């Protein structure tokens, strides 16, 4: 396999929490499934993950945030469940594997995505 794309993003947790509070509909636009109702640090990391995925794909137009859900395995390891627009974009790019890493510390959430094909 070869690396097809790499994306990284960071998100200020307090700023993101303020955005969610100021615009309640934002959470419904960005998050779905088990993502909903998580603490602000976790949501900021998931937002960063979606941004990092879009960057790794080359930021194609028309991606729906609900089509890239961050879920956790029983071990706690995060991964994406891809569907719809995002699944189509990864398939078109020849992506076979999506690697995801999340972190949050000192008021910053970060995510890194590596695409392999």
Question: With helix as H, strand as E and coil as C, how does the chain read?
Answer: CCEEEEEEEEEEHHHHHHHHHHCCHHHHHHCCHHHCCCCHHHHHHHHHHHHHHHHHCCCCCCCCHHHEEEEECCCCCEEEEECHHHHHHHHHCCCCEEEEEEEEECCEEEEEEEEEC
CATH of the domain at 97: 3.90.470.20
What is the structure's pLDDT at 19? Answer: 97
Tokens of 48: 């960063």
What is the structure's pLDDT at 95? Answer: 98
Q: Which domain holds residue 24?
A: 3-116
Count of structural domains, the chain: 1
pLDDT per residue of the chain (117 residues) written in tens, 0 to 9:
899 999 999 999 999 999 999 998 999 999 999 999 999 999 999 999 999 999 999 999 999 999 999 999 999 999 999 999 999 999 999 999 999 999 999 999 999 999 999
Give dist(CA 33, CA 115) in Å, integer. 23
Contact 109, 11 (CB under 8 A): yes
């Amino acid at each position: 396999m070869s690396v097809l794309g790499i994306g990284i993003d960071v998100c200020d947790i307090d700023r993101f929490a303020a955005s969610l509070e100021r615009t309640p509909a934002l959470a419904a636009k960005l998050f779905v499934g088990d993502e909903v109702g998580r603490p602000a640090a976790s949501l900021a990391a998931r937002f960063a993950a979606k941004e990092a995925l879009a960057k790794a794909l080359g930021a194609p137009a028309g991606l729906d945030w609900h089509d890239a859900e961050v879920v956790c395995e029983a071990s706690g390891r995060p991964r994406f469940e891809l569907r719809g627009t995002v699944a189509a974009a990864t398939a078109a790019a020849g992506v076979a594997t999506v690697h995801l890493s999340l972190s949050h510390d000192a008021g910053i959430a970060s995510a890194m995505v590596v695409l392999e094909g």
